[in-house]
Amino acid sequence: MTTAAAEHWNRVDNSGRVNWWSSAKCQSYYNQALCGEAALTGGSEGVRRRLAKDFPGRVFERAVSIGCGPAAKELALIADGLVGHFDLYEIAQTRIDQGRKAAEALGLLDRITHRSGDVFGSEREPEYDLVYWDHSLHHMSDVDDALAWSKAVLKPGGVIVINDYVGPNRLQWTPAEVARANAFLAESAVRRGVPVRKLHRSNIVSWLKMYRRDPSEAPQSERILAAAQRHLPGVKFEPVGGTFLNILGGVVVPLVDEDSPVIDEMLSADRQLLTEGSAHFTFAIWSA
């Protein structure tokens, strides 16, 4: 599975206008949910502001991130003065190369160490001040063990950050979610002439297609909240919303400009879903 997932992520190109994270409005909406500040359009900028607010003046001298991709979020934490050094685990060589190139351009290459191998099979000794999960925990094949590891490698007083997807496994939307999303598309996008595609209900074929495309995509996302409760006593999750961001971001954002009312209406509908208890994304900071 690891080899197939690595091959997939070596091919992934998230440049351009591909999904909700490509939209400044969507990023601002997400970041504001995390830290309460508007107009923050950088990726995971809300996480950094939240850490700075919750731990004023603190520098997490040694941090670790699993599934870091090109490490843009981790490099930003270093650049902001929040992290001293990051150990980075990533299975896709293309993304490792991208991260190292970016670090070199920022003058931060000596403050990151890329590691490989089975991170969860290594010795579990307390060595990190920060364990950072930012939309990567849901890619783990065993989220229970990943969180057990996270706690075991944390120094006394260390912090675990979880900013992640906790929706349906394998991105297989529920019938209610599909119906709600299609109703929104008909009302907001189709009537404005946006050539959106109608969503189809999940089934065994869509599950298999997702697995073949990326076997690391959300195999146990639905178990994250319960696993965290088992391993991180007293952890408090804050639902971020994101049901429509996640389901419709890749459908709507590539087809419309940033000033399109469809994006505004998508975010308004996402906010309404959150009030109804529907959230695909969640956030927590836990201290040992």
Residue ranges of the domains in the chain?
2-287
Q: What is the pLDDT of residue 1?
A: 62
- The pLDDT of residue 4 is 84
Lowest mean pLDDT among 60-64, 212-216, 265-269: 212-216
Compute the C-alpha angle 56/60/65, nearest 5°: 125
Name the phi and psi angles at 48, rounded to 5.
-65, -40
Local confidence band at 222 (pLDDT 50, 70, 90 cut-offs): very high
Tell me what percent of the residues of the chain surpass a pLDDT of 70. 100
Round to whole Å and give the CA distance between 65 and 102. Answer: 16
Q: What is the mean pLDDT of residues 251-280?
A: 98
**b/e 254-271 (16+ beta carbons within 10 angstroms → b):** eebeeebebbebbbebbe
Residue percentage of the chain with pLDDT more than 90 = 88
Under DSSP, the state recorded for 223 is G
What confidence score (pLDDT) does residue 19 get? 96
Q: Mean of the pLDDT values across residues 144-169?
A: 98
CATH of domain 2-287: 3.40.50.150
